[in-house]
Structure 1
Amino acid sequence: MTDVTAGALRALHDALCEAIIAGDAAELASILTDEFTLTHMTGYVQSKSEWLDAIETGQMQYHRMDTVEATLSAEGTTPGLTARTLTDATIWGSRSTWRLTLRSWFEPHGDDWVIARTVASTW
């Protein structure tokens, strides 16, 4: 993985976090594939449209996300990023700060990258 690619993927992770905090569904839609899924720490797999709807309706409100560390890797031709975050959020009425590991995989999209899938777990 080149330094340019690594920088682009880290910037995309940062853009994801910023858009989540802002509740900016349009920005999120632009950086996620149409087939994007988010697997929650409970194991629930949520489609892009369902997740963005939950953000827009306030069922999922993200107040703060601090990335503690982030590591890039590649599985074959698919680059990934594993980020440990402290995520302050209200999810379906319960507010807490979760220690989440977000594992994201990326796909090329023209000259840029988009996020294809993210899996959240605790650390």
Structure 2
Amino acid sequence: MLDGGFTLTHITGYVQPKAEWLARMRAGRFVHHAIVEKDVTVEAEGDAARLVGRIVTDATVYGAHADWRLRLTMDYACEGGAWTALRAVATTR
């Protein structure tokens, strides 16, 4: 589901590589309790697609539990009939 070079850009601007992000998830640094979609659009052209969503994420991040109101942009590519996520960018705007 995630490309080998996948990155997640956090609201702080930090660009986190896939392996580091998944390791922090496994260690309990990021715990997602629920995600509520408010608005989602997808634009696709050929083998590329972009998802833009406004979401509210109920999460505990480094021990701080809050509802995070985010705009999440995710870029995807289709290769060999399979879609994979290349990158995700979370902002608060």
TM-score (structure 1 length as normaliser):
0.70
CA distance in 2, matches of 1:75, 1:37: 22
Structure 1 segments of 4 or more deviating over 6 A? none
Q: Work out the number of aligned pairs and report it.
A: 93
Matched, 1:106 2:81: no
What's the RMSD between the two structures over aligned residues?
1.6
Once the two structures are superposed, what CA deviation does each residue of 1:28-81 show, in whole Å capped at 9, x if it has no partner?
Answer: xxx100000000011011110000001101011111001111011257863101
Could you state the TM-score of these two structures normalised by the residue count of structure 2?
0.92
Rounded to whole Å, the distance in 1 between the matches of 2:37 and 2:44 is 20
Structure 2, unaligned runs of 5 or more: none
Give the aligned residue type for 2:69. R
Q: C-alpha separation between the residues in 2 aligned to 1:96 and 1:109?
A: 37
Residues 75 and 109 of structure 1: CA distance in aligned 2, closer, same or farther (over 3 Å): closer
| 1:41-120 correspondence to structure 2 within 5 Å | 41-74=11-44, 78-120=48-90
Q: Greater helix share, 1 or 2?
A: 1
CA distance in 1, matches of 2:8, 2:45: 19
* Residue ranges of structure 1 left out of the alignment (5+ in a row): 1-30
